[in-house]
Structure 1
C-alpha cells in the first residue's frame, strides 16, 4: 500500500485542483470528439459525396484547425484562458449540432472548416492554463497526465464512434456536441481565470516594441525547437498515413493494422503514468534525443517487416519513444515562452501537427511509391537527425530558460 501511495505521489501528487478540472475537461472533450473520425465515411455513405470531395472537406477541417490554433493562442493571451476555452467549446458544440442536420455539401464544408477552428482553439489555452497553475517542479508530471488523458480519451472515442456510426450518424454528431458542452460546463463551474497580467519580459519589449505573435515567429531558439518537434510529428503521423499502405502492400488485412494501432494505444494508457519517475533524473534534451532515437529505430525497422509480428514489435519500440518524448517536449515548449506570451508560443508550437499531417502523407506517399521499403530508412534517418538536433540545441535552450527565469524573478526581488 505504501508503494502504491508513493507511486501516486510521484505521478500526480501535489497538483492543484484547477489542473484536475482542466484535465477532466480535456478527457471529456477527447472522449467525445469522435464525429470527425467518421467524417469522410459520413460524407460518402450518408450524403453521397465522391471520395475526392470528401477528402477536400476533411482537408478544410485541417485548414480550419491551423487557423484556430493561432487564433486560440492570441485570444488566450488577450481575453484569458477561461474565456477562450468557454468560447471555443460552446462554438464547437453549436457547430457540431448544426453539422448533424446539414444536408447540402457546401454548407457541410463551411461548417467543417469552422469546427476545425473551434476544435483547435482550446489547445494553446489548455496548456497555458496548466503552466499558469502548476509549479515548475510539477509540470513534467502534469504534461505527462495531459498526454495520458488525451490518448485515453481518443481510445474511448474510437470505441464509441464505431458503435454510434452503425446506429445513426446524426446521433454521432449530437453526442459529440453534448460531450463538448459538458466539458464547457466543467470549465465554467470549476476553472477560474488563470491569466495574470505581468510586465512584458521579452527582449523586444525592453527595446520598446510591443510583444505579440511576431515575437514567437522570430524567436530562433524557439523555432529550432519547433522544427525538431515537426520532425517528431512527421514520424508519429506515419502510423496513420503511410503505414496502412505499407501493411497492405505486404499482404496484411485491415484488422492487422487495427491491432498495431490498438497495441500502441494500450501501451500508452497502461505505461504513461510510470514515465515521469523514469525520466526525472535526466536532462530534457537527453530524454528527447533517446526517445526520438527509439522512434527512428522503430520506424526504420519496418524496412525488413513483412509480417504482423515484426510490425507489432516495431510498434512497441516507437510507442515507448512517444511516451518518453511527451512530457519533456511539452515542458520545454512551456519553459521557452515568456509568461505574457505563453499561449501565443503554444499556438505556434501546435502548428507543427497540422503541418505534419499534410507533409507526412503528401511526401510519404510519393516516397513509398518511389522507394518502396527503403522509405522507412528515410523516416529513420529523419528521426536520427532530430535526435542529434536535440543534443546540439539543448545547451542553448537551457541558457535561454535560465535567462527567462532570471527576468521573471527580477520584478519580485524589486517589489520585496
Structure 2
C-alpha cells in the first residue's frame, strides 16, 4: 500500500504461500489436480496432426481441416452451453462435456479413416466448447477481486505444467513407425478426464454457478445485448485474433512448420512444448506481480510485441532446415511465445468476468470461448493451406501482421473498457486528520 498525493493505492504483491492461504477450500481443490488433469492433453496436443498426417496417412490440408473440427464444434456448442451454465450450473454441463471427451479420445485412438477421426474430433470439440465457459464460471464463483486475476494466471501455469510434462513424455514415447504408441497416448488422455469428473461429483458438488435473480435485479440480458456492448465487442475481436495466431497454431501450424519446413524431429517438437511449459511455470508468478494494478490493455500491447518477435524467430529457423540452428530456433520460439502467454492468460479471462454479473457469467465466458474457438477454427485451416502450398514466408508474415492487429485492438479496447475491468483499482481518498488548533499561551 502506498500514498501518492494523498491518494491511497493498493499494490498487490503475491507469493505462492500467501496466494494459497487466501484461496477458499473449493479453489484449492480446483488447483490441486490441474496439472494431473492436463497431463493427458499434453501427451496428444503436439502430436495429433502428426498422428493424422504421418501415421494415418491423411493429406496435410485434410489433417488441418480435421483438426479444425474441434474448434468448429466448440463454437457451435459454446453458445447453448453458456446459457445452460447460467440456468443449470457449470457442474452438469461440464460432466456432459467430459463424457464426450472420454468417448472422443478413445475413438480417435483407433481411427484409421477420416470419417472416424472426424466423429472423434467432434466429440472432443463438444468438451472444448463447454469446458472453457464452465470452468471459468466455476473459478469466478469461487474467487473474486484481484485474487481472480492471480488465480487465472496460476491456473494457466499449472495447465501448462501438465501439458509440458505430457509433451516431454510423448516426445520420447511416440514413434510414427509404431501406430500403437499413439493409441496409448490417446487412451491416457481419455483416462485423465476422469479426474475432473471425480472432483465435480465429490468435493465440488456443492459449488453453484447459477443464481436466481433477485426481484429488484435488472435483467441480465441475452447474447445479443451482451455482444452489443463496445467493450465486449472489441475484447472478443482481440481474443479471436490472438487465438488465430496463437493457440490456433499450436496444434497445427507450429508442429507442421517445425516438421515440414524447419525439418526438426518429433523429439524436438516435444521438447519445444517442454520449454514452453518451463518458461510459463518459472515466470508466471513474477509476471503476476509485475502486472498487478496495471492496465490490462497495456499488458496486451506488450504481449503482442513479444509474440511478433517469437514468430520472426520461428521464421528464421525455417531458413536453415534440418540443422542444429533450426532446432534451437524452434525451441527459442516456444520460449519467447510462452512469455507472451504469461501476459495474456491472466488478463483476458479476468476482463470478461469483471464485466459480467453472477446472473450472466456463463454467457460472458461462452462469448470468450466462442472468440477462442473461432480463432482456433481459422488457424489450423490457414496453416494447412499455406504450408501445403509451400508458402512458408507468407505463413510467418500473416502471424506477424496478426500481432500488430492485436496491438491496435488493445489501444481501441482501452478507450471503451471500465477502469475496474481493466485492472485499475479506483483510488480511495485517505481522510486527512483536521488540523490541531494552536494552544494559546497561558
The alpha carbon displacement at 1:52 in A equals 6.7
SS of equivalent residue, structure 1 residue 232: helix
Match of 1:62 among 57, 62, 71: 71
Q: Is 1:177 paired with 2:190?
A: yes
Which aligned pairs between 1:9-408 and structure 2 lie closer than 5 A? 9-33=17-41, 34=43, 57-94=66-103, 96-97=105-106, 106=115, 109-161=118-170, 163=173, 171-191=184-204, 192-199=206-213, 206=218, 211-236=221-246, 237-238=248-249, 240-243=251-254, 252-254=263-265, 256-302=268-314, 306=319, 307-308=325-326, 309-310=328-329, 312-364=331-383, 373=393, 375-398=395-418, 401=421
Shift in alpha-carbon separation, 1:269–1:339, aligned structure 2, 3 A: same
Aligned counterparts of 1:48 and 1:246: Cα–Cα separation in 2: 18
| CA shift digits 1:42-68 (9 cap, x unpaired) | 667887767676555444333322223
Shift in alpha-carbon separation, 1:137–1:47, aligned structure 2, 3 A: closer
Shift in alpha-carbon separation, 1:291–1:40, aligned structure 2, 3 A: closer
Shift in alpha-carbon separation, 1:40–1:366, aligned structure 2, 3 A: closer
Contact 2:77/2:129 (<8 A) preserved: yes
RCO higher in 1 or 2 (8 Å CA, sep ≥ 6)?
A: 2
| CA shift digits 1:313-357 (9 cap, x unpaired) | 454433212212211122112112232111111112112333223
| CA shift digits 1:54-99 (9 cap, x unpaired) | 5554443333222233333222111102222223223433554566
The alpha carbon displacement at 1:185 in A equals 0.9
- Structure with higher Rg: it is 2
Aligned counterparts of 2:341 and 2:142: Cα–Cα separation in 1: 25
Shift in alpha-carbon separation, 1:22–1:245, aligned structure 2, 3 A: closer
| CA shift digits 1:183-229 (9 cap, x unpaired) | 21122111122225253799xx95x7x72233333333202101112
Shift in alpha-carbon separation, 1:318–1:201, aligned structure 2, 3 A: farther
- Write 1 or 2 for the structure with the bigger share of helix: 1
SS of equivalent residue, structure 1 residue 327: coil
Contact 2:15/2:285 (<8 A) preserved: no
The alpha carbon displacement at 1:265 in A equals 2.4
| CA shift digits 1:380-401 (9 cap, x unpaired) | 3331331232133214212584
Contact 2:168/2:270 (<8 A) preserved: no
Contact 1:30/1:154 (<8 A) preserved: yes
Is 167-176 or 68-77 further displaced after alignment?
A: 167-176
Match of 1:413 in 2: none
| CA shift digits 1:118-171 (9 cap, x unpaired) | 343222110011111102120111001111122112123324445378655554
Shift in alpha-carbon separation, 1:257–1:195, aligned structure 2, 3 A: closer
Match of 1:411 in 2: none
Contact 2:49/2:252 (<8 A) preserved: no
Aligned counterparts of 2:34 and 2:78: Cα–Cα separation in 1: 16
Contact 1:132/1:194 (<8 A) preserved: yes
TM-score by length of 1: 0.79
Shift in alpha-carbon separation, 1:6–1:211, aligned structure 2, 3 A: closer
Shift in alpha-carbon separation, 1:378–1:109, aligned structure 2, 3 A: closer
Aligned counterparts of 1:296 and 1:36: Cα–Cα separation in 2: 23
CA RMSD of aligned residues (A): 3.8
The alpha carbon displacement at 1:106 in A equals 4.3
Match of 1:409 in 2: none
Structure 1: runs of 5 or more not aligned: 407-416
Shift in alpha-carbon separation, 1:13–1:277, aligned structure 2, 3 A: farther
Aligned counterparts of 2:331 and 2:357: Cα–Cα separation in 1: 42
Counting matched residue pairs gives 396
Aligned counterparts of 1:380 and 1:58: Cα–Cα separation in 2: 23
Shift in alpha-carbon separation, 1:71–1:114, aligned structure 2, 3 A: farther
